[in-house]
Structure 1
Amino acid sequence: MNFKNYAYIIFFSFQVFTVAQDAKARFEMMNTIRRDKLDLVLPGAMRDNNIDVWIHVIRRGDPDPMELDFGVNMGHIIFTDNGGDRIERALFGNRFAEVADESIYDVFGNDDDITDYIAKRDPKTIAVNMSDWITVADGLSHTNYLNLINILGKKYSNRLVSSENVVTDFQVRRVQSEIIAFANICETQRRVMEEALKMIRPGITMREEIGWWAQDELSKSGIYPSLFGAPMPGILYFGSNDKTGVVHREGSGPEYRFQRGDFI
């Protein structure tokens, strides 16, 4: 093996190591946010809405909008307010689940254990993920609802309420680690947008070219690209619109070439 090939292997290995370290850092950041939210936000979210137990059901193979919040992709996630500073956290039916950080949960068990678990805590109000208001709190399928009713029995099934208010409060209340993460993401977006503006050549550069380039740049920073096409810069200019003073430029589709005077 000559020196050139040896140097290439070292360089390639270093790149892989760097990417792996970035991936690990993002994983640990998500775990930190998750722990902080459960420690600091969850108690207030439940108590402000008079919820004793919050059950969030995720069905296997059915992606749920709260997966990242709870770090698990299937099972019965149950939060119980026993008083004190910390909400008890239990995970049932997670045998085949992917769990990001098991240390954030206190109790593990099978679905058959839920009946006794709830009976011992005797909650007066039980919030579950069904809602006619917001989608994020409406992930409970009809099949899982019937199964949950069977598990809880008539006594506790009559105490079910929507978790829509708890979910809303839990998600909109931010912790410091979350704010820092959002700030970093926004800075990445700002940097990409600034570089994109420098690439525009009037009469030559098309909207979709900038859109796809931006997607590639965001991917390098670990921000997943859109699967529904590239978001493209909007083209606006001041017109005679009496209501807003701004109208979309006609014909500004994906192949539209930026022109001098365009307001982006």
Structure 2
Amino acid sequence: MRIILRLKLAVCCFVVLALPFRIQGQETVNPGTVLPDDSVALENQVRNSKFNTVLPQVMRDNEIDMWIHVMRPWTPDPLNFEFGSDMGIFIFTDRGEDRIERAIFAGHVSDRNAYNIISRPRVQLPTFVDGVITEQPGGDETDYLKFRFDGVREFVAERDPDRIGVNYAEALGLSAASERAPLTDGLSHTDYTLLLNALGDKYAKRVVSAEHLILDYLAGRVPEEIELYRQFGLITADNLDREFGKVVPGVTSLSDLEGNVFRRNPDGVEFHAQDREPYILQPGDVFTILHGAGNRIFSSDLGGNAYLLREGETEAPPEIQNVWRAALETRQILLDNIVAGRTAGQTLDLLIRKIEEAGYHYNPVDQYDSNADPDLTQVHLDVHAVGRSGLVAPRISPLGSDWEREMTIPVLHTFTFEYMIHMPVPSWGPGKHIYIAFHDGAVVTKDGVMFPYPPDPGIRLVR
């Protein structure tokens, strides 16, 4: 057995890639070089870079003068990593300078240099015995929850903000942000009441939801993250080559391969590696592997497709070449039409129009549409974000929440060209088709979309 990566079909792919696709040069990466020995230093660098560049932008875009984020101990928060803490009253103030003032009350942070003001940094937590509080910080008569807000009113009054954003959801269904990691929808009712009491009537009336600001901040990226994205992407590409190289037709099952491994037959029936009786790959099959690499700071994904040559075949048959041609044309449509400054929903509408103008059938569902024109190849899109914050970002897709489509695509948006091709093959019979899927990593720059690491280079040919 051997895997053929660059026969005639793949060579054509690279000719195309060399011309219109903006891509950094291929290289190999030692996984040990992705993170320095002191990974905490890199985390702090990413965090400070976001504070310096993303924070001023999102506060001003959302017209928020002061952002108060209440993070209660023992309660997961989507901004734990971003703030370098799991507890505290975080107050960010736009004082008309390039750098937003950063303060924390009653909390601790992993990087003290990231904040200008740390009030009561050695905050004490209640003492518990058998699950019951036996001692409160500040004395037995002190309510710990209220104790955290001491000094907040004076601090806010000194800065006199017009609009105070606070971490509570008002209009958005944040639980739908991710299929696997729903966002929390903000501070508790108790903390909300304590905060308003601490602010007093004058400033409590200026409080608004910070839901849009928080989403924009989570979606923001900095150059350090783009470099990690690139390096993890190169590792992922090596992982894909390794897994495809294991395939022996008639012997290898989907479960023998690492990653999200699946195949759809000509009737659209999908087989997975997790099936009770995993499918054994046969000559003539087309299948897909999605793989990834990363850590708690960032991650990357990449997909690849392969065709198992039949006996006597030395190159891909015409239908395989045609489905790859459709994939390249779709990729180019995405490259030409995704830009910063437009909402994900506006971009989706534009892509649908361009796909249909190119002679394809846009399918909002990732299943072959038997009612569509049988002469048209079908394209499905789910162009979603990639990175530490998962899908919390603009999503160019019919899937997900409306607010994901309403978000504006920012510069340095990291996302995947996830799209699927369903190409009918009339000679096989009514409704018979070929299915391939893509998961190319990409980033939006001021100059357009770039590939920080190579996209799927072509349908691999396996003997």
TM-score (norm 1): 0.73
Cα 1:183–1:153 shift into 2, 3 Å = same
Letter in 2 for 1:235: R
- For residues 62 and 165 of structure 1, the distance between their equivalents in structure 2, rounded to whole angstroms, comes to 21
Cα deviation for residue 236 of structure 1 reads 2.5
Task: Write out aligned runs for 1:1-264 (5 A).
Answer: 22=35, 24-94=37-107, 97=108, 99-110=109-120, 111=148, 112-131=150-169, 132-133=171-172, 134-135=174-175, 136=183, 138-211=185-258, 232-237=260-265, 239-240=266-267, 247-249=268-270, 253-255=274-276, 256-260=278-282, 261-264=285-288
Q: Which structure dedicates a bigger proportion of its chain to helix?
A: 1
Uncovered stretches (5+) of structure 1, i.e. residues with no partner:
1-17, 215-231, 241-246
- For residues 202 and 142 of structure 1, the distance between their equivalents in structure 2, rounded to whole angstroms, comes to 59
Q: Which structure dedicates a bigger proportion of its chain to strand?
A: 2
- For residues 139 and 205 of structure 1, the distance between their equivalents in structure 2, rounded to whole angstroms, comes to 48
TM-score (norm 2): 0.43
Cα deviation for residue 107 of structure 1 reads 0.6
Q: Is the 1:203–1:259 Cα contact (8 Å) retained in structure 2?
A: yes
- For residues 48 and 244 of structure 2, the distance between their equivalents in structure 1, rounded to whole angstroms, comes to 39
- For residues 196 and 43 of structure 1, the distance between their equivalents in structure 2, rounded to whole angstroms, comes to 44
Aligned with 1:234: secondary structure? strand
Cα 1:234–1:145 shift into 2, 3 Å = farther
For the aligned residue pairs, the C-alpha RMSD in angstroms reads 2.5
Uncovered stretches (5+) of structure 2, i.e. residues with no partner:
1-30, 121-147, 176-182, 289-463
Cα deviation for residue 89 of structure 1 reads 0.1
Cα 1:82–1:198 shift into 2, 3 Å = same
Letter in 2 for 1:151: A
In terms of mean alpha carbon deviation, does 188-197 or 64-73 score higher? Answer: 188-197
Q: Please give the per-residue CA displacement for 1:85-140, whole angstroms capped at 9, x wherever unaligned.
A: 1100001111xx4x221100011114312121111111111111111413547231
Q: Is the 1:235–1:252 Cα contact (8 Å) retained in structure 2?
A: no
Q: Please give the per-residue CA displacement for 1:44-66, whole angstroms capped at 9, x wherever unaligned.
A: 11111110100111110111111
Cα 1:148–1:176 shift into 2, 3 Å = same
Q: Is the 1:77–1:90 Cα contact (8 Å) retained in structure 2?
A: yes
Cα 1:251–1:182 shift into 2, 3 Å = closer
- For residues 204 and 148 of structure 1, the distance between their equivalents in structure 2, rounded to whole angstroms, comes to 64
| 1:3 aligned residue | none
- For residues 272 and 159 of structure 2, the distance between their equivalents in structure 1, rounded to whole angstroms, comes to 62
Cα 1:63–1:88 shift into 2, 3 Å = same
Letter in 2 for 1:169: D
Aligned with 2:67: secondary structure? strand
- For residues 168 and 280 of structure 2, the distance between their equivalents in structure 1, rounded to whole angstroms, comes to 46
Higher relative contact order (CA closer than 8 Å, sequence separation 6+): 2
Cα 1:250–1:191 shift into 2, 3 Å = closer
Cα deviation for residue 251 of structure 1 reads 7.2
- For residues 106 and 38 of structure 2, the distance between their equivalents in structure 1, rounded to whole angstroms, comes to 29
Cα deviation for residue 144 of structure 1 reads 1.7
- For residues 130 and 161 of structure 1, the distance between their equivalents in structure 2, rounded to whole angstroms, comes to 9
